[in-house]
Amino acid sequence: MQAPVGVILAGGQATRMGGGDKALLRLGKETLLTRVIDRVSPQVAALALNANGDPTRFAGYGLPVLPDSIAGQPGPLAGVLAGLDWAAEQGADTLVSVAADTPFFPCDLVPRLQLASEGQRHPLVLAATQGDAQTRSKSRSGLIRHPTFGLWPVALREDLRRALEDGLKKVVLWTEAHDGREALFPAQPFDPFFNVNTPEDLAHAEALL
């Protein structure tokens, strides 16, 4: 199976952190972005960063910076689309997305996403963890899906573009429409998809570190 290329999603506005770039916050001796790059780089053939605004603030990381191609901050799917357009330029068939504010995601993320996609015409898989009883009563699958962590097919990028231009914002509505699957990851001893949204979250991440 061809190795996918990767995109780190850092296009959010970080309102609960007081604005600015969450990816550039320090966790221990490294920024969140450095930790994410170190985890995902060995798993992908090439890597880019989705971020809006002045790209020079990320110049020290040596990654291509991809702004959203859909106006109005429509959410993480816009970053996925920017990544898919870049992936097409690289000649890749698939893209893996990860979030810039999630420093502990699995080091075997990509192979497990790929394994879950076996047999799909268009590989489309979201990472997921097992939900509690309340989640299982509300969720189609009983799982908590992590839509910023996924395997995406370049072949469906124009379909995604049309959906976003029509106002789609909820990731799982699009993935379910294209027979998307989930790859289940263990959530013990803690949720590997824990993300830093608030100063309290950053303190918790320091404790986990």
- CATH number, domain with residue 191: 3.90.550.10
How many domains is the chain partitioned into structurally?
A: 1
Helix (H, G, I), strand (E, B) or coil at 33: helix
The answer to whether the CB of 36 falls within 8 A of the CB of 103 is: yes
The pLDDT, as a whole number, for residue 5 is 98
The number of residues making up the chain comes to 209
The answer to whether the CB of 74 falls within 8 A of the CB of 68 is: yes
Helix (H, G, I), strand (E, B) or coil at 99: strand
Question: What is the CA angle 173-176-182, rounded to 5?
Answer: 115
Mean pLDDT by 10 residues, the chain (209 residues): 92 54 94 98 98 94 94 85 98 98 97 98 96 49 89 98 91 94 94 94 93
The pLDDT, as a whole number, for residue 12 is 62
Tokens of 45: 């053939």
Domain range enclosing 46: 5-208
Question: What is the CA angle 124-122-155, rounded to 5?
Answer: 105
The pLDDT, as a whole number, for residue 17 is 41
Q: Is the dihedral of CA 136, 12, 149, 90 positive or negative?
A: positive
Distance CA 154, CA 152 (A): 7
